[in-house]
Amino acid sequence: MKTNSKTNIRKDAKRRFFIESLLVIFIIISPFIYRIHEYVSTEPDATLNILGFIIDANGFQNLSVYIWFLLGKLVPLFLLLIWFFTCKHWWYHIILIPVLMYAFQIYEAIYFDNNYVDTENILWLLPVCMVIIPFVYFIRIKLYDKYVLGIDLEAIDAELEALKSDSNIKAMSDATVQEKDIENLNQESLADELDRKLSTRKIEQASKQFQLRLQNLLSFSKK
């Protein structure tokens, strides 16, 4: 078992090292990727074939300008994605806003035939901002209360739960004590009743009555 776990750890470490190496290489060559448009034809009717996909000027002045525009969005988008997936700060969700901004701009440039780009994508970001910004602000408030003001809401909740459980236990113990008291009262009343029925006075009275009845019977038989 230990050998298998060590092997899995080594495989995970190798995989992580390989992926991180690729990301580092891409970050290093990102300025050179951005300059690829300089090697694309500037002819108005020029096209580019990449793995069977034909790329034309798509309404821009020429193909070089179109590639320049796309790379100006794709390179920052990929760098922001790397930052988002590797960031360990509490506010990393806010990086999604520029990520989606660049994504909407690329979508608008590829699939829309408008003469103007980067115009309406800010409106697409409003619903995203309405969700992400309050979420990040809520996290910020919790961290501020905990580490600056010293208010730990989770600890308070845990303490309240502990007090609630203690009160429940106390209520259960009180109910148990009451039940025991009722049982003791019932037992005492039964004991009192037995004492009343089997007391010495009662036995003497019963014996006297029996003697009187026996004397009456004997006197009756002599007559």
Q: Which of 69, 74, 61 is nearest to 37 (CA)?
A: 69
Question: pLDDT for 40-87, tens place per residue?
Answer: 888 878 888 877 788 888 878 888 888 999 999 999 999 999 999 888
pLDDT in tens, 121-130: 677 788 888 8
CA 171 vs CA 42, 110, 165: distances in Å: 85, 69, 10
Q: Say which residues have a Cβ less than 8 Å from residue 121's Cβ, sequence separation at least 6.
A: 101, 104, 105, 108
Is the pTM of the predicted complex or chain greater than 0.85? no
Q: Does 131 have pLDDT greater than 80? A: yes
Distance of CA 2 to the CA centre of its chain: 32
Q: Residue 188's pLDDT is what?
A: 47
- In angstroms, the CA 187 to CA 189 distance is 6
Q: Residue 48 in contact with residue 63, Cβ under 8 Å?
A: yes
pLDDT > 80? residue 3 = no
How do strand 53-55 and strand 48-50 relate by DSSP bridges? antiparallel
